[in-house]
Structure 1
Amino acid sequence: MKLQILSKHMIRDSTTLAHVIQTYAQIRQLNKGKQLHAQLICAGHPLCTFLSNHLLSMYAKCGQLDYALKLFDTMPQRNLVSWTAMISGFSQNWEFSEAVKTFCRMRIAGESPNQFAFSSVIRAAVSLGSADLGKQIHCIALKCGFSYELFVGSNLADMYSKCGVMVDACTVFEEMPCKDEVSWTAMIDGYAKNGKYEEALLSYKKMVYEDIDIDQHLLSSALGACVALEYYSFGKSIHSIVVKLGFESATFVGNALIDMYSKTGDMESALNVFCFDVECRNVVSYTSLIDGYVETDQIEKALSVFVDLRRQGIEPNEFTFSSLIKACAEQAALEQGTQLHAQIVKFNFDRDPFISSVLVDMYGKCGLLDHSIGVFDEIENPTDIAWNSLLSVFAQHGLGKEVINFFDRMIHRGVKPNAITFVSLLNGCSHTGLVEEGLNYFHSMEKNYGVTPKSEHYSCVIDLLGRAGRLKEAEEFINSMPFEPNAFGWCSFLGACRILGDKERGKIAAEQLTRLEPENSGAHVLLSNIYAKERQWDDVRSVRKMMRDANYWSHPQHTQIYEKLDSLLDQIKEAGYVPYTDSIPLDMDDTMKAKLLHRHSERIAIAFALISMPIGKPIIVKKNIRVCVDCHSAIKFISKVVGRKIIVRDNSRFHHFVDGLCSCGDYWFHGLALGYMSPLAVSICTNDELEGLGGK
């Protein structure tokens, strides 16, 4: 009955049929569309090109390209609409190569493309990442007179910008007689994604000046450019436009604002944007906020946001985890780091090469070298990031030969080293006394590997020579450098001068370091020691007063900590410890000098750990300057008398103390950078909480 009705009233009316097919396409009623097509075939009514084109479009919009292609191949006649429907269908369904092939077939068939065909094939070229193909299509568009058409021009500009050819993108854009918000947005987004942030913001200003409508995509791109250029005041002005246009509830605009405020350290504003619309939060929103707290050293708040993310049922991504793991690495927060590692395994991110690299770094910075190696060995195809993480860990732990061994393995695997690789390589050589090897690597960087040495590499060489006691060579190297040494370079040279008693060179180095970093407590300490050696007591008192004023500490277990500290002193003296009082060149007796040494920060941290941590658990201590000679000796004795493994992470490397021995083999003494220091001027932590025990 339905077939009869269709035959009498609909088959003769192509316009009505086309409208029905179009409706089915719009509401994605594929089955009804197929039934209608079948009825037309059964009715024996030949399909005209007009109806076939509508059926082609319906099948393409519903993702049924096989049906569309079969119909297309059986059409006795095809027109421009037929070809365009197929090209658009392939492009919309991610069959980009087929879209290009169909475009070529259309040209061979002698059909001239219209703006819709050009736009679809240009989008296909973008998705294929082929600028050469895009240029060929551009030439055809020029020949056909469509290159300046608004729709085609916008797609061409977008294609060039996404392929990184911004010169051609600009040319197309400037030659367009008419520009709309789509073309402007394509250009601004292209500039931002290709690192041309100044141009992106300049185009944004022009667009505003010409009173072109601004959408949320454009605002997100402009905010991203502000972050990259650190134009935060301009970013705040864009925020006011966001509010004015009512786009605060747009998720990706809100995310861009959170990212901007987080990068400035303005976490209050970031949190205000985050809390504006609860419904619009997603994993990017949470991750941006977490990253902001991490960058401002508020790891507890970062972890709290992570907990809230999980409570909301939002799954973290690789960026969420990598940000938190990096924070745990910098804070040596082993307990939190291992818990996050468990979450990473749960979410199947443990095979992600970037997250694995961050885990290698985290375990290394927490002193667990075996864990770092274990994570690295699980990486199927280590990237340069993973190799660099492992090399850095070996260097921090003073394992120079291992650094060289794994560097050779890295090269053998065909992984190209970069600037970061050579920092680890040079540091590893420096901490192990491999001077000639280190110098050879430095001189081969550019020649053999195409890596231009930067200030950090020159500083590593200063450290390499200084640790080996080759002060004259280090001085000559400094004088031959193409730029002034950075703070690390002067600090390394300063330490070598201190150990070898070269007060003239040391004084110059201390003054240079103080000039570069006036707040560097280590520089003040050594400068004070140099003044003391020269018996310039007024200068000594001035420097010491400045340090005392900057450092005050208290702790609720203050009494118990010092009782444990005194007990430890008695124990290690019985075991043979003798204070190295020569490291304090002040005019006082040895008893007072020993008392000062006895209360150095790392010993206070160890005493705290011994009264608060389970027996047998390794103690991890972090400080922001290098360990002094006397503390190094004392901790060796402490590790023996208490039977505990003690890992000290200073600003240069790790020292693993076990049963009276240190992993550095005592070579480290040649690289001592700083004399002694008040415990209150350093950041201390063990793998349990030591909050409040020390300041930065």
Structure 2
Amino acid sequence: MSQRNLVSWTAMVTGFSQNLHYFEAISTFCEMRIAGENPTQFAFSSVIKACASVGLVEFGEQIHCLALKFGFASDIFVVSNLVDMYSKCGVMVNAYNVFQEMECKDEVLWTALIDGYAKNGPFEDALSAYKNMVKEGIGIDKFVLCSTLSACAALKALNFGKCLHSVMVKKGFELEISVGNALTDMYSKAGDMESASNVFGIDSDCRNIVACSSLIDGYVELDRMEDALSVYVRLRRQGIEPNEFTFSSLVKACSSQAILEQGTQLHAEVIKFNFDGNPFVSSVLVDMYGKCGLLDDSIQVFDEIENATEFAWNSMLSVFAQHGLGKDAIQLFNRMKNEGVEPNAITFFKAMEKTYGVVPREEHYSCVIDLLGRAGQLKEAEDFINKMPFEPNAFGWCSFLGACKIHGDKERGKLAAEKLMQLEPENSGAPVLLSNIYAKEQQWEDVRTLRKMMQDFNVKKLPGYSWVDVGNKTHIFGVEDWSHPQMKAIYDKLDALSGQIKAAGYVPCTDSIPLDVDVSVKEKILQHHSERLAIAFALISIPSGKPIIVKKNLRVCSDCHSAIKYISKVIGRKIIVRDNSRFHHFSNGLCSCGDFW
């Protein structure tokens, strides 16, 4: 065009913005200003929308100033887009200020503000804004209802969400796909899976991947793995393709419950649907294999991630920490820094505030207590505790107590146990550990006093169980358990192993039994601990090419730890034991934990 007027410039800016060519819209707006044209409210609205879509909040602020200069501060189109722009860019203070300056507020303006609060928080403000919108008599549509439901989901505000559900039914929105998705998500996040399932099953059109993923995530959060997998099977039968969120939730569930068989099957599905290159899904797989004991698989998945996110690095660091591989964790941390990934509060402690501006939290202080305890620097650990800005949490005192037990520091152990019992009076771990310290010193009167105290306060020692997966079945063992159908073969194997490891140099650590009984009785009790029964069963059931992975609900006792080291040596197989503290990789008479756990 040889001559361009305000109409043609505005048409181009609006056209680019409406057809998702946002940078072209912004560039054309700038050219329009250079050409000396004064923008209309439509040009301003279009360029502000473009800024919102690409997150250019600083340029949007400049456009905001220009709009004020040209007298559009009260134009409903411009103001609505400004509120939407600030909301989408997470600057809710500016969004609220612009909203407040507008005298006549319509449903578009209210919706933009509520949606901003629902996405960025504070979520309570989204609910308050909705109430005020209703008081003002502004018309309610499905968009504002869905945004408010999203805030309810984040707050787990079930009662408010139910009220919104009633409004949706009254207005006839219930069968809308977006509404069904929002309701399913709200009920799932609030833990009301019965209502979530009812909404999910109202109409076949609601059964899309968004609703399915919400339902799966809700079941996963409640540890209802079978129900989550059932939804996955249903969506596959209906021809709905899963997305990265579906797989992330399911693999996360396998990770938390250490279900290796299901986890590997899901990994195959991930590859089938080409999500193995997704950084988030891969990060969850790293965590899953690590928690299931397959360290090499975890490392392999991590190494195959092309652009590892902060979450992926933290997952791999956590796996190394769980498996007692401190040097590997430090090397990985250095790699992380070299590749330009900034550590966050989960990653590390020393110099974190000074160098990276990350304020240390309780768990970081607890890690330092654990670190000093492992090094046997109990006085330094005690001094560190005394200088902390707050009292250690249960993990911190438990770490300190465990270190006192390992290094035989009775006095500091007593202090740690007392603090731990104050924090968690129902937890039997502290008195049991302190009892073991007294038993090691043969202070049987103190042991009896502790046992009486536990009886008086109705503190019951948690029974020890170990389990091992063979095929698709989990086999559980208790101490001196005779309930398994193959128990004769198991005990025969255990007797043979006991002879072999004694010949190799194993000496029973009877000090770990806090009972004033004969040594031979103590040896028999130790020999029939649950983890040894599980290992014996695994040896007669699992082929030599497969790993032996045993899980235990309590910490492995010092004698069993010693015995398993010798078992790994005499049978020439790697044994992985996950107790409630960490993974132990036993191989050729050594353990990855360095005999400290």
**Common fold by TM > 0.5:** yes
Aligned-pair distance for 1:528? 4.7
SS in 2 for 1:579: coil
**What corresponds to 1:506 in structure 2?**
413
**What corresponds to 2:566 in structure 1?**
637
Verify: 1:481 aligned to 2:388, yes or no: yes
Verify: 1:558 aligned to 2:558, yes or no: no
Q: What's the TM-score, normalizing by structure 1? A: 0.77
Aligned-pair distance for 1:286? 1.1
**What corresponds to 1:588 in structure 2?**
517
Paired AA for residue 380 in structure 1? E
**Contact 1:350–1:356 (8 Å) recurs in 2:** yes
Q: How does 1:222-371 map to 2 (within 5 A)?
A: 222-371=148-297
Verify: 1:94 aligned to 2:20, yes or no: yes
Paired AA for residue 497 in structure 1? C
**What corresponds to 2:469 in structure 1?**
none
Structure 2: how far apart are the matches of 1:601 and 1:550?
10
Task: Select 1:660's aligned residue among 580, 589, 592.
Answer: 589
Change (3 A) 1:523 1:208: farther
Paired AA for residue 649 in structure 1? R
Deviations 1:414-468 (A, max 9, x none): 221222221xxxxxxxxxxxxxxxxxxx442222333322111111111111122
Deviations 1:590-617 (A, max 9, x none): 2333343334332343344345544542
**Contact 1:332–1:622 (8 Å) recurs in 2:** no
Q: How does 1:496-645 map to 2 (within 5 A)?
A: 496-529=403-436, 533=443, 535-536=445-446, 537=448, 539-541=450-452, 543=454, 546-547=459-460, 558-560=483-485, 562-575=487-500, 576=502, 577-610=506-539, 612-645=541-574
Aligned-pair distance for 1:523? 2.8
**Contact 1:568–1:638 (8 Å) recurs in 2:** no
Identity %: 68
Verify: 1:648 aligned to 2:577, yes or no: yes
Structure 1: how far apart are the matches of 2:461 and 2:387?
38
Deviations 1:621-647 (A, max 9, x none): 223432111111222233345554221
Report the more deviating stretch, 476-485 or 167-176.
Answer: 167-176
Deviations 1:248-278 (A, max 9, x none): 3233333333333333333223222222223
Structure 1 unaligned regions, length at least 5 = 1-72, 423-441, 672-696
**Contact 2:180–2:200 (8 Å) recurs in 1:** yes
Paired AA for residue 254 in structure 1? G
Change (3 A) 1:466 1:102: closer
CA RMSD of aligned residues (A): 2.7
**Contact 2:149–2:161 (8 Å) recurs in 1:** yes
**Contact 1:571–1:641 (8 Å) recurs in 2:** no
Structure 2: how far apart are the matches of 1:285 and 1:605?
41
Deviations 1:489-508 (A, max 9, x none): 11111112223333332233
Change (3 A) 1:326 1:559: closer
Change (3 A) 1:158 1:341: same
Structure 2: how far apart are the matches of 1:133 and 1:658?
61
Change (3 A) 1:453 1:139: closer
Q: How does 1:386-465 map to 2 (within 5 A)?
A: 386-422=312-348, 442-465=349-372
Which structure features the higher share of helix residues? 1
Structure 1: how far apart are the matches of 2:306 and 2:577?
32
Change (3 A) 1:548 1:478: closer
Deviations 1:629-682 (A, max 9, x none): 11112222333455542211223322112343323343x2xx4xxxxxxxxxxx
Higher relative contact order (CA 8 A, sep 6+): 1
Q: What's the TM-score, normalizing by structure 2? A: 0.88
Structure 2 unaligned regions, length at least 5 = 466-475
SS in 2 for 1:357: helix
Task: Select 1:156's aligned residue among 76, 79, 82.
Answer: 82
Change (3 A) 1:448 1:149: closer
Aligned-pair distance for 1:214? 1.8
Paired AA for residue 598 in structure 1? Q
Aligned-pair distance for 1:469? 2.1
**What corresponds to 1:426 in structure 2?**
none
Change (3 A) 1:608 1:327: farther
Q: How does 1:158-237 map to 2 (within 5 A)?
A: 158-237=84-163
Structure 2: how far apart are the matches of 1:228 and 1:471?
43
Size of the aligned set, in residue pairs, is 575
**What corresponds to 1:34 in structure 2?**
none
Deviations 1:147-204 (A, max 9, x none): 2122221112111222222222222211112111110000011122222212222111
| Structure whose alpha-carbon radius of gyration is higher | 1
SS in 1 for 2:445: coil
Change (3 A) 1:636 1:560: farther
**Contact 2:410–2:438 (8 Å) recurs in 1:** no
Paired AA for residue 509 in structure 1? A
Change (3 A) 1:503 1:118: same
SS in 1 for 2:550: strand
Paired AA for residue 164 in structure 1? G
SS in 2 for 1:558: coil
Paired AA for residue 155 in structure 1? N
Paired AA for residue 197 in structure 2? L
**Contact 1:529–1:540 (8 Å) recurs in 2:** no
